[in-house]
Structure formats: C-alpha cells, structure tokens
Chains A and B, each alone.
Chain A
Amino acid sequence: MVTDTRSKVVKGEAEGARKVLLSIDDLHVWFELRRFGFGHAGYVKAVDGVTFDVHSGETIAVVGESGCGKSSLMKTILGLYKPTRGKVIFDGKNLSELDSAGMHWYHTRVGYVQQDPYGALPPFMTIERILEEPLIVGGVKKKEEREQRVRRAMEEVKLSPVADFLPKFPHMLSGGQQQRVVIARSMIMEPKFLVADEPVSMLDASVRVEILKLLRGLQESHHLSVIYITHDLSTVSYFSERIFVMYAGNLVEKAKVRQVLDNPLHPYTMALLTGTSEPDAKNAETFKEIPPGEPPSLVNPPSGCRFHPRCSKMIKGLCEIEEPPDFEPEPGHLVACWLYK
C-alpha cells in the first residue's frame, strides 16, 4: 500500500487547515567526487530522494546518526547547497528559481542555529556587532533601529543585563551564553522558520534543558516552524511534534513523536531507540542489541533497502533488490520498510 506522503500527513493532522510553509519534494543532493582534481569518480549521495512538508508553527525533529546526510539536507534547505534534483519550496516559491533579491528575502525568513556555539560566532567581533551583522546584511539602515532590535533579541534569549554583554567578545561568554547569542542572531530578522542543527549537543547537560526550553518558548511565541536536527533521541520529545528518521540519505520513518517513541516500526528506528540511554540503574545490567556493522558509504549505497546489510529482519530476495516505498501501517505513521507492505 503505497501512499502519497503529503496528502496523508496533512489529513492526519488534527488541524488540517495549517498552511504548508516548507515543502521538500524528491530532494537529491549529490556531491561530485573528482579524481586528480578533474576526472569524474562518482557522487556522494548525501541526500537521495527526500520528500516532506513542514507546516507553519510545526516542529520537526530529524534524527539520524553522523554521516546520514541530515546536515546536507539542512544546508540545502538553508540555500547553502544547490539541490542536484528535486525542489525546495518555501512559502510557495521554489528556491532554485529565486533570483538574488528573492534569496535575500528568503535569508531573512529563515534562521539558523548551529551546533558549535563558539565556532558559530566570529571571534573578532563583539556580541553587538555579531547581532548587528544580519540586520546590516538584511538592509536595516537606521543605526537606532538596529540597536533596538539587538536589545530586544537579547532580552528574548534572556541575555541580561544587555549592556554588559554588548561589548564582550564570544570567548568571554560561557557555552550556554554563546548558544543564546547564536539563537538571538538566528531570531533577529524575525524569521518564520528556524533550522536548528543539534543546538544542544555541544553544551553541558546542565544547560541543555535551558536552551531547549528557550527554543520551545521562542517557537511558541513567534509561531515558528522548526526543523530540529539531532542524533540524540532523548532530547527530541522536548518540543517536536513529528520525527523523521534518516538513514543513508533517505527518510525511513516519518511519524508523530509519541508514535515513534512508543511504537517504532522501522528496524533502524528500533535500533536507535535501543541505543538511547536512559538514566536508569537497571541499564547497567542489561545488554543492548545494536545493529552490527557501520553506516553504509554514501558513494556506493547498498542496493534495495539501504539498511538491509545491518537489518536483523531482512526479507531475502526483496530487501536487497528493491527500494521500499513509504507504507502507512497506522494513520500518520509512514515507514519505508518491506515488513509493512
């Protein structure tokens, strides 16, 4: 039972009237490999046929292990990479058809929270200058207006007293404060859509919750759509509505948070969930079964289902031959696995 992803998901939503803000359609991002600097030596298929929609005000978590292509997916959404094939449609406009003025508009609509807060802040600029940069680039001419917006953004991420932080350099701030500056910078143009690339993975466990709460608060007060990229399933339930599980350039499972966490369908999701540590004394005694082998090479991905070499439930003669389409074993729960055909 193959279904059209988009129509199904919209129907599955309680508030089906929510507008589609971002639509990814059969997106491929391939990087060409060159031999000796010129000869062609194949492609790294970082994103290979990804389709999904993000509605306005919706939060989506993209989960996957390192090297599964989630960063490439995100950078393509941000317009940093050009899609090899497929479309990224934001607010009804295809990104690859936008001219430079259009891209300028797009950059003001999308915010970007990075993983490493220290690396994300230019070390030679003061906090004031860092926050002012997007405004200057975005064409806010008046100095007073820029100052005002910088102050407002800093208050919003609870960097107070504002005047104390303005003249500081990034290295004078703690990791949590740096990440607040990064969030303030991503929010300063008042975007509709936020891409958060593992925003808490580099932070101390003690400040993670703070930052996640802050993002959650911003998402609610600004009615933001958020794509939250992570490899850590334990932080997902904080503020995501849906989870997309990514494996080797494909989305293998798309469903609501509770559906995935309580009833994972794809063998890979199951393995991921098994791998998640819960602070429980019992865990010290139990042995967890994790999938054998390494994530596959994205240059030569396995034929058929990309997970089949590591899958314990592989169906011989099917999984290694044909790529599974999306199945919908329960409403709003899409999974690309032959087990549910």
Chain B
Amino acid sequence: MIAFKNSFRELLRYPSAIVGLLVIFILLGVAVYALVTIPYSEAIRLWRGGEDVWYQNPKYASPEWFNFFTSKKEPLSFLANTADGSMTKTVTSSTADISTVEMTYSFDYTYDDYPQEIILYFSPKFNEKLPFVSIAWYTPDGRKIRIADIAVDRKSSYRFSQDQKLQKSLRNEDVMQALFVDPHAENPTVVKGQYKLVISGTTFEKDSDLDVQFVFHGKVYGLAGTDKYRRDILLPLLYGTPIALAFGLLAALGTSVLTMIIAAIGTWYAGWVDELIQRITEINLVLPFLAILIMVGTFYSRSIWLMLGVTILLSIFSGQIKTYRAIFLQSKEASYIEAARAYGASDRRIIFSYLIPRMIPLLIPALVSSIPSFVFLEASLAVLGLGDPVLPTWGKVIDDAITDGAIYRGLYYWPLEPAALLMLTGLGFAMLGFALDRVFNPRLRDI
C-alpha cells in the first residue's frame, strides 16, 4: 500500500502522466455519465428505433458549434407543437359541427442559409369527415406564400420540399430556397427577420380536433451532428465510451493477466507443461488473428462480447508469454524462492505470491499501454463490417460514415468525431503508460 502510494506520487511528477490521467478520467466520467443518464434500452431505442424516433432530426447535419467558426451561420433545428402549447392554436366554432382551428407559429430567423426541410405532422381527431387545412407562409419582407390546401388524414404529414405543386407554383425546385430567399434581390440572400406559419384548419364534426407538430430541420444539430438516418451522433459517441473502455480494459486485463499466469505456471513446473505452453504459443503466433476474428464475425456472431472472448483467447498465447517466461526463468532461481520451498510453500503459493508479484511492475505499464490497441481493434472490426449490430459504438459510426461516403461529401465531422475520441483514448493511455514505465522500470533493473 505504501509502495503503491509512493509510486503514485512519483507518477504525478511526470506531466505526461497528469495529462494521461486527466484524459482517462474525462473518458471515465463520460462513460459513467452515459451509463447513468441513458439506460441501455433507451440507447438501443435511440440507435435502432427507426424513422419514428429520428424524424425530428435533420439529415447529415453538422454539429451546432460549427457556427462559432464559420461566417455563414447555418440554421439550427427546432420544433413546435400545438399539443404542448409551444405553437398557438385558437379554435372558433362557427356552427354546431364546423369549427375553425387557427394555428400560427412565428419565429425569428437570423441565419445565413435556408433550412433543410420543414415538415408538418398532423394528428387530427375525427370520425368520418377529414379536417381541411390551408397553409400559408409569411416572410419578413411582407410576402405571403400559399403553401398548400390539403385534407388531413390520420397520421398524415406534409413535407414542404416534396410537394411538386408547390415547386411549380414557386417556380423553383428548391422550395426552401424559395421560401427564405428574396427572389427579387440581385444577390439572392436569405431574408432575416420574423417568419410566420399560419395553418388555418376547418373541422367538420362536433368532436373533431386538430393538432400539428411543426418540425424545422436546420442544417446543424446538437453537439455532434446527425448521420444519414437522422440519428444524433452524440449518442454513439457517449454510449460508445463505456463500451470502448470496457472492451479495451477487459481485453488488456484478460490477456496480460492470463498470459502472465500461464507463463508463470509453465516456467515453474517446467518439463512437459512448459513444452506444451511453448508449442501452443508458437502455433498461435502464426495463426492469423484478424482473419479468425473475421471468420467468427461472418459465420457465427458479431456480438462485441463474443469478439472480446475470441480476442482474449487468441491473445493469451502471444509472444508476450516468451518475454514473461524469460523473466520468470530468472526469478525462479532467486534464493527467496528456495527459502520458500524450504519452509514448505506450495507450488500454487510460490507462483501467485512469489513469482507473479515480482512481475507486477512490468505488468502495469504494459497493461495500460495495451488498452488503446484493443479499443482500436474494436473500431477496426466495426470498420471491417464486423461491428456489433446492436450496440452504438465509435467504430460503428466510422463504418456508417465510410459506407455512406461521408468523406467525399465533405461531411468530415461524421467519421472524424469518433476517430478523434479513439485518438484521445490512445493518447491518454499511451501517455500514462509511458510515465508508468518510467516509474516502474528503474526497479526492474535490479531484478
């Protein structure tokens, strides 16, 4: 315990260790935050829920903070709803059956670009007669544009830019451009100011009612942007953190600890046990690691935990066993081991209390430094199309981005965000590992 405290104090003398620890603590914090705030089922729902879950988000939207760095401010996304009062709704009954529902929404628009899409989701209440709505758009420069007059069926939605009638009447294929840009200006620019959407509905039944949700798809979204399926990339970035750390940590711990124990057992018992372990190691060294993982992923299961198991299994008998064996062969002959045998310590006690503790100083830096390689392995598998089909992971985001050609479309944020996190993880553990190596290794010199 004292030795541990001293090592820790010594560790803090290295700036790289402090930076590394800071990075690791931040990642751990993110991991804990993700696990606490997003329950597993919720994460899966948000990741794999389908269009019903993601409809509110724009497609391919950059992160909102892009606006800080660009002179051209991109519109944010928002939504308004008559059901929760964020959009005004007035109902006036003219006769017993017929009533008018007037829904308006005004908003300040100060961005330099027009949005991606505007969608209205109607949720009417009626028995037989469909309510009827006419939609109008008021621009700050005083133009009034009639958008559409439609009958509203149950669960119907209206997408502005996909209405061909509207495209024709506006004489512009890009409806959004037509709605937000002054057509008479020399340099067509976005008109800033207060826009107003007015939906005048008429219901034809006594108990009929009409609600609408106004979904405004800007061009930037959230902290991390969105992908092809309108999914918020922040979710896999957050939820991928505990998965990446767990995978890296478990794989590193599993392989290095098991490798060490097996090397110690082989060295201690010598004879055929040692021979067997040596030969297994040599065979394992020529087995193609990635190819086996790909086969398992292709033919059996792509579950990340199965991959973890196979990774550990294939990494136990690694070249590291030879390194450990070389050192164990040396410390096996130490006279304190002879003393332990003379007072009757069992083989198990000698292996676990005398041989292995001596190696802990070597194990810890190696373990910490090997964590990122396993985190990267998980990402590599995902990029190769062998990522876990269920879990939102960093590698899966990169895979989606690459499959969708994000780089060629200039959607750099999409693959680069998880890549940056991967690099940060690597950097954090590597910096800590280097410092640990320097702290622990002077002691190893006097083995």
Where the two chains meet, the residues of A that have a C-beta atom closer than 8 Å to any C-beta of B are: 75, 78-80, 103-104, 107-108, 110, 112, 114-116, 119-125, 133-134, 137-138, 167, 169, 182, 185, 189
CB atoms of A107 and B358 under 8 A apart? no
Residue of A75, A104, A119 touching B336 (CB-CB under 8 A): A119
Give the CA-CA distance A108 to B344 in the complex, in Å: 8
- A189 contacts across to B, CB distance below 8 A: 343
Residue of B3, B349, B360 touching A169 (CB-CB under 8 A): B3
Interface membership of B149, Cβ < 8 A: no
CB atoms of A103 and B344 under 8 A apart? yes
Scoring A120, A124, A138, A167 by chain B CB atoms within 10 A of each residue's CB, the highest score goes to A124
User: In the complex, which residue of chain B has the Cβ closest to the Cβ of A191?
Assistant: B343
CB atoms of B2 and A167 under 8 A apart? yes
CB atoms of A110 and B345 under 8 A apart? no
User: In the complex, which residue of chain B has the Cβ closest to the Cβ of A103?
Assistant: B344
Scoring A103, A104, A134, A138 by chain B CB atoms within 10 A of each residue's CB, the highest score goes to A134
Interface membership of B36, Cβ < 8 A: no
Give the CA-CA distance A104 to B345 in the complex, in Å: 9
Give the CA-CA distance A110 to B336 in the complex, in Å: 16
Residue of B335, B340, B342, B354 touching A119 (CB-CB under 8 A): B335
CB atoms of A133 and B335 under 8 A apart? no
CB atoms of A78 and B340 under 8 A apart? no
Scoring A75, A104, A120 by chain B CB atoms within 10 A of each residue's CB, the highest score goes to A120
A-B residue pair count with CB separations less than 8 angstroms: 63
Where the two chains meet, the residues of B that have a C-beta atom closer than 8 Å to any C-beta of A are: 2-3, 334-336, 338-346, 349, 353-354, 357-358, 360, 446
- A169 contacts across to B, CB distance below 8 A: 3
What is the CB-to-nearest-CB distance from B157 to chain A, in angstroms, rounded to a whole number?
Answer: 69
What is the CB-to-nearest-CB distance from B83 to chain A, in angstroms, rounded to a whole number?
Answer: 68
Known: A124-B357, A137-B349. A116 touches B335 (CB 8 A): yes
Give the CA-CA distance A115 to B336 in the complex, in Å: 11
What is the CB-to-nearest-CB distance from A235 to chain B, in angstroms, rounded to a whole number?
Answer: 20
Residue of B335, B354, B360 touching A120 (CB-CB under 8 A): B335
- B357 contacts across to A, CB distance below 8 A: 122, 124-125
CB atoms of B342 and A112 under 8 A apart? yes
CB atoms of B343 and A115 under 8 A apart? no
- B344 contacts across to A, CB distance below 8 A: 103-104, 107-108, 134, 137-138
- A124 contacts across to B, CB distance below 8 A: 3, 357-358, 360
CB atoms of B343 and A138 under 8 A apart? yes
What is the CB-to-nearest-CB distance from B278 to chain A, in angstroms, rounded to a whole number?
Answer: 12
Give the CA-CA distance A189 to B353 in the complex, in Å: 20
The contact sample of 23 A-B pairs, CB cut-off 8 A, is A79-B342, A80-B341, A104-B344, A107-B343, A108-B344, A112-B342, A114-B339, A115-B335, A119-B335, A119-B336, A120-B338, A122-B336, A122-B340, A124-B3, A124-B358, A124-B360, A125-B357, A133-B340, A133-B345, A134-B343, A137-B340, A138-B343, A189-B343
- A122 contacts across to B, CB distance below 8 A: 334, 336, 340, 354, 357-358
Give the CA-CA distance A114 to B353 in the complex, in Å: 20
- B360 contacts across to A, CB distance below 8 A: 124
CB atoms of A137 and B345 under 8 A apart? yes
User: In the complex, which residue of chain B has the Cβ closest to the Cβ of A189?
Assistant: B343
User: In the complex, which residue of chain A has the Cβ closest to the Cβ of B346?
Assistant: A137
- B342 contacts across to A, CB distance below 8 A: 78-80, 107, 110, 112
User: In the complex, which residue of chain B has the Cβ closest to the Cβ of A139?
Assistant: B344
What is the CB-to-nearest-CB distance from B251 to chain A, in angstroms, rounded to a whole number?
Answer: 27
- A107 contacts across to B, CB distance below 8 A: 342-344
- A138 contacts across to B, CB distance below 8 A: 343-344
CB atoms of B334 and A133 under 8 A apart? no
CB atoms of B343 and A112 under 8 A apart? yes
Give the CA-CA distance A120 to B358 in the complex, in Å: 14
Give the CA-CA distance A107 to B349 in the complex, in Å: 15
User: In the complex, which residue of chain A has the Cβ closest to the Cβ of B341?
Assistant: A80
- B340 contacts across to A, CB distance below 8 A: 122, 133, 137
Give the CA-CA distance A108 to B345 in the complex, in Å: 11
What is the CB-to-nearest-CB distance from A217 to chain B, in angstroms, rounded to a whole number?
Answer: 22
Give the CA-CA distance A110 to B360 in the complex, in Å: 32
Give the CA-CA distance A126 to B336 in the complex, in Å: 13
Scoring B334, B336, B345, B349 by chain A CB atoms within 10 A of each residue's CB, the highest score goes to B336
Scoring A116, A119, A169 by chain B CB atoms within 10 A of each residue's CB, the highest score goes to A119
Give the CA-CA distance A124 to B3 in the complex, in Å: 9
